[in-house]
Chain A
């Protein structure tokens, strides 16, 4: 059954809807049953609709949501991955598996580059082997695209579906679904294990609708993965309300590269680049690929042009609405592009071998401490180059910079457990 575990509007359904259970899509007091929000807007015709989840098809009062059953699959032996976890990864992975077996919520707090995905495999396998359903959700489409092939390789005989806005509808039922967090709104009591990756990332943080979706999509255990978890989740973990495992070391065992500070005047940015930056880039591009983060999309073009005049390497820029985003990231990863000027869009989910990170105007209010930690986390991910340089170019020392640097230092001194 292609819609197993989903809750859909009649206009979405191409098969017989009578096999599904129909429930009102909006409560009498105007709460959207799909996203849980009570922010309806009245149409001129007099009916209310929910604007919060309208991108998935409009929920109007009087309509129904059709909920399809999520039956079990036959038992199987799903894991085809033959790699090995490091002792520290194994400890975290075992704790996670234990939580999943007792259907408990769990937070896996692991630094950027710790090998989170591999640590999930035993828990995912335990659910799939019993004929259950697994969902792996990430807020950003780039992360979904990076996760799906890795999971497909690790579970080579398992049916896998990928769901994001604009993707074709599933043709048949799948045991393992990789999806954007937004798509979770279309699932109801479906997943025996639901993993939410990068829980702190925009747009999931603070988004109540998606939090509601996660809780409703799951019927077994909910697992949060994060390099920079919220205070709330950490407190729940430390109080024992949910399972918690921490992994402060990267898979290669080396500490996170600590950001260094470069003090420059910001006044002439982006028109005039600091000499110090140019000098540093000139030497860096001979040994590393470089990610240059900027706080404002308007800075991309002038800075890229200025750098192209000064440096004789391939330089590109990328941002969220860039049509060629996927192709550019691929070219950067394969080494055809040496220097990438980018907004925070590449702050997470991107792994580049031998990659130096420079954050220009790191003291900008646009960069929170989470974003700074994530950007710094793009460096030093490979075993043969764990200490790639990370530089924050600043004029003022801000609270967010302080929090980012002390968090990284703390993690570097912490023990796993």
Chain B
């Protein structure tokens, strides 16, 4: 199999254990050299509120969310948003290289929950030809219960203050019943300020959801 980023063949070190493993073999989509450029977030020292790397205590931003009256999302993320990851996102979302949606799927194994996807705007879907968040997680049982009204400026083009002032644009789709659900995990590609995910959680609570809401993203 060829690496999705560099096209070189991927070497898998077959061991007896792997061959007879009952859990199945993880099939990497990236080669070792390409994988190495990305920085994993050490979960043991990540912020318990937002998953930020190297912040074992609740970070200042999370304390602000708490003070503003939001129940924390206990967000988890796998990778840091450094230069190589920015280049990956540019190729996937910017250039629209749909193949890359598979790149990290063998790493994206969140604990089981009811997975609810953060939706993208219809206009973006038309231009890209795919939903980049759905692509990253399409190996999981997903629910598309949220919908998003079109906003004039995408989050990616705003600074921090602009992002935090973004008004609510999410709502729960009609005919979705949240009654029998106790735990929801929101899924997104990137956690920057948390504004998007806290809006999504608000929308679920506004629709009458009373359980716990956590969140997960590929990048923080």
Contact = CB atoms under 8 A, between A and B. Distances in A.
A and B together in one complex: yes
Interface of A: 41, 43-45, 47, 49, 51, 54-55, 57-58, 60, 297, 321
B33, B125, B126, B135, most chain A CB atoms within 10 A: B33
Nearest to B83: A323
Interface size class of B (residues with CB under 8 A): 10 to 19
B130 interface: yes
Interface of B: 33, 36-37, 84, 91, 95-99, 125-126, 128-131, 135
Given A297-B33, A321-B37, A57 B129 contact: no
Contacts of B99: 41, 51
Given A55-B91, A297-B33, A321-B37, A45 B129 contact: yes
A55 B33 CA distance: 19
A41 B98 contact: yes
B104 to A, nearest CB: 17
Contact of A51 (B37, B97, B125): B97
B67 to A, nearest CB: 39
Given A45-B125, A321-B37, A58 B130 contact: no
A49 to B, nearest CB: 7
Contact of A43 (B33, B36, B91, B98): B98
Question: Would you call the interface of chain A mostly helix, strand, loop, or mixed?
Answer: loop
For B37, B98, B130, B131, which residue has the most chain A Cβ atoms within 10 angstroms?
B98
Contacts of B33: 297
Contact of A47 (B36, B95, B129): B129
A177 B99 CA distance: 32
A60 B129 contact: yes
A41 B37 CA distance: 26
Contacts of A45: 125-126, 129-130
Contacts of A41: 98-99
B131 A58 contact: no
A47 B126 CA distance: 11
A44 B129 contact: yes
A44 B95 contact: no
B96 A58 contact: yes
A45 B98 CA distance: 11
B98 A55 contact: no
A41 B4 CA distance: 13
A58 B37 CA distance: 24
A44 B98 contact: yes
Contacts of B84: 321
Which of the listed residues A41, A44, A60 has the most CB atoms from chain B within 10 Å of its own CB?
A44
A92 to B, nearest CB: 35
Contact of A49 (B36, B37, B96): B96
Given A43-B130, A44-B130, A297-B33, A58 B95 contact: yes
A47 B37 CA distance: 32
